[in-house]
Amino acid sequence: MSLIRAYTRNASNVTKLLSISSFYSRQACPVITNTSARNIKLLHTSNAKSLKERLAEIIPERQEEIKYVKKEHGAKSLGNVTVDMAYGGMRGIKGLIWEGSVLDPDEGIKFRGYTIAECQKLLPKAEGGEEPLPEGLFWLLVTGEIPTTEQVRGLSAEWAARSDVPSFVEELIDRCPNTLHPMSQFSLAVTALQHDSNFVKAYQSGINKNEYWISTFEDTMDLIAKLPNIAGRIYRNVFKDGKVPALESDKDYSYNLAKVLGYENNKDFVELLRLYLTIHSDHEGGNVSAHTAHLVASTLSDPYLAFAAALDGLAGPLHGLANQEVISWILKMQSEIGVSANDETVREYVWNTLNSGRVVPGYGHAVLRKTDPRYTAQREFALKHLPNDPLFKLVSQLYNIVPQVLTEHGKTKNPWPNVDAHSGALLQYYGLDEQNYYTVLFGVSRALGVLSQVIWDRALGFPIERPKSYSTAAIRKMFEQ
């Protein structure tokens, strides 16, 4: 472990090293797994500890690590900030700490060092299933460790047990007009759940800041657990008869989400949700939903308020709502040029979109410079489960055409598809054709990533966020006088 190697170079840390290594040697049957040469993890194969118990063990070690990193590297520079960056949405400024995932421009997202393909291979599956369970991904994001099947089953059961939604929140959702966008209803309901925040109660009772993470963890677990019921109620109210079926306490999270949507008997759809919830969870710290949750939580707002704010950001068409935009753009294209238009006609349609001053939804990315691996994972799912679906074929046709057009157009830094270019076509195939609802599913998944970081924000005592800003007049004064 690099931390231990670094510690050995510093004599004053020998005692800490000994305590860390004896900590590891105390663990029940630790096994060293190696998914890549530089990335060694400890995998606990027995003695299934709950996530909270495991977290309580890890936090002191991570706190020491942060102290060490700040002491050794605190004064070093992460890079330059230019005026263009300040005007350009802070693109490329390295100014955030995010523990769960790092986004590489070429390789895509890695969750605690693991690629999507590695997660698909290593994370526990449902019985008879092939896709990873998002419960396992959450465990990985929180702890940095691949959980055992037993630990993941425990998490499924715990979430099912915490899933009840207070009746006043149900009524609040029921009172929303069907014309209110599902994302607005989602944000409203999550804000209202704040009524029962453990963190708020603990804070008001005057707990020590070292204990903030405990009630934050409880809120996070409660909130994630309630999302299928919230999301299901919104879906049933807006698109169906308003009746939400009860969750099953012995089933996994994705099965239960499929159930509230009415798809629990379609095992391929349940598998799709397992994949979907895993890959949409986290995309490092700078994207709008992640950064918003982190920013709002930095004021010691509780996880409900922080996540509701994240949902408001996700609801924008350049972020999560792009999954809705993509499918409506594709369906409009189909209605205008037919279902099996040739490449030339499709190319012309893409050019028309660009020439009318609009973006091609589902393409481009602020960080990525290759096809998004989340797109690829969905494409592989489609090749396996729906290779002959006409909509999938059109999505594939666009994959061959749009990057060429965007490159020729010459503005977009990344002409390749992102996650949103594919997800709608898969949902449509299984019959979930209510496009306005798609971003809600993205939001359920995003909770796993942003809330696991909020736990760490509290555990590591991160301060209130407060970057420096300048006015244009101040910039001119700085460089012109």
Ligand X SMILES: CC(C)(COP(=O)(O)OP(=O)(O)OC[C@H]1O[C@@H](n2cnc3c(N)ncnc32)[C@H](O)[C@@H]1OP(=O)(O)O)[C@@H](O)C(=O)NCCC(=O)NCCS
Kindly indicate which of the ranges 73-81, 202-210, 296-304, 360-368 contains the residues binding ligand X, using the contact rule CB under 6 A.
Answer: 360-368
Distance between CA atoms of residues 422 and 447, nearest Å:
21
Cβ neighbours of 56 (radius 10 Å): 15
Q: Does 453 bind ligand X (CB under 6 A)?
A: no
Catalytic residue among 44, 280, 291, 365: 365
Q: Which is nearer to ligand X, 169 or 366 (CB)?
A: 366
- Which of 88/242 has CB closer to ligand X? 88
DSSP tag of 132: B
Residue bearing tokens 């994302």: 183
Does the annotation count 280 as an active-site position?
A: no
Of residues 172 and 419, the one with the C-beta less far from ligand X: 419
**Residue 385 neighbours by CB distance under 10 Å:** 16
Q: Which of 275, 366, 377, 454 binds ligand X (CB under 6 A)?
A: 366
Query: Whole-number minimum distance, CB 471 to ligand X, in Å?
Result: 22
Which structure tokens are listed for 226? 């309630």
Per DSSP, 108 falls in state E
Name the minimum Å distance from CB 447 to ligand X.
Answer: 17
Q: Is 318 or 475 the residue whose CB approaches ligand X more closely?
A: 318
Choose the binding region for ligand X from 196-204, 229-237, 338-346, 417-425 (rule: CB under 6 A): 417-425
What gap in Å lies between CA 44 and CA 228, rounded to an integer? 29
User: Is the distance from CB of 423 to CB of 263 less than 8 angstroms?
Assistant: no
- Contact between 274 and 134 (Cβ < 8 Å): yes
DSSP string, 92-125: T------SSEEEETTTEEEETTB-HHHHHHHS-B
Residue 369 is a binding residue for ligand X (CB under 6 A): no
Tokens encoding 260: 């509230």
Binding string, residues 68-97; x marks residues near ligand X by CB under 6 A? -----------------------x------
CA 97 to CA 401: how far, in whole Å?
Answer: 37
Reply yes or no on whether 365 is catalytic.
yes
CB of 419 to ligand X, least distance (A): 6
Query: Which of 360, 398, 444, 450 is in the footprint of ligand X by CB under 6 A?
Result: 360
Degrees to nearest 5, angle at CA 134 with 131 and 139: 125
Question: Given the complex with ligand X, which of 160 and 450 has the nearer CB atom?
Answer: 450
Per CB under 6 A, the list member of 186, 363, 438, 442 interacting with ligand X is: 363
- Binding residue for ligand X, selected from 3, 359, 401, 460, defined by CB under 6 A: 359
Residue nearest to ligand X (CB): 364
Q: Of these, 18, 78, 318, 474, which contacts ligand X (CB under 6 A)?
A: 318
User: In terms of DSSP bridges, do strands 108-111 and 101-104 run parallel, antiparallel, or are they unpaired?
Assistant: antiparallel
What's the one-letter identity of residue 477? K
Cα 275 to its chain centre, rounded Å, is: 12
DSSP per position, 77-92: ------HHHHHTTTTT
Q: Is 411 one of the binding residues for ligand X (CB under 6 A)?
A: yes
Mark whether 44 is an active-site residue. Answer: no
Q: Considering only residues 92-151, where is the footprint of ligand X by CB under 6 A?
A: none
> Residue 201 class from Cβ within 10 Å (0-12 exposed, 13-18 middle, 19+ buried)?
middle
Write down the residue that tokens 């760490």 correspond to: 456
One-letter amino acid for residue 53 of the chain:
E
Q: Which of 222, 252, 420, 457 is catalytic?
A: 420
Catalytic member of 44, 280, 319, 422:
319
Determine if 418 is a binding residue for ligand X (CB under 6 A).
yes
Interaction site with ligand X (CB under 6 A): 91, 318, 322, 354, 359-366, 411-414, 418-420
Give the residue numbers annotated as catalytic, written as ranges.
319, 365, 420
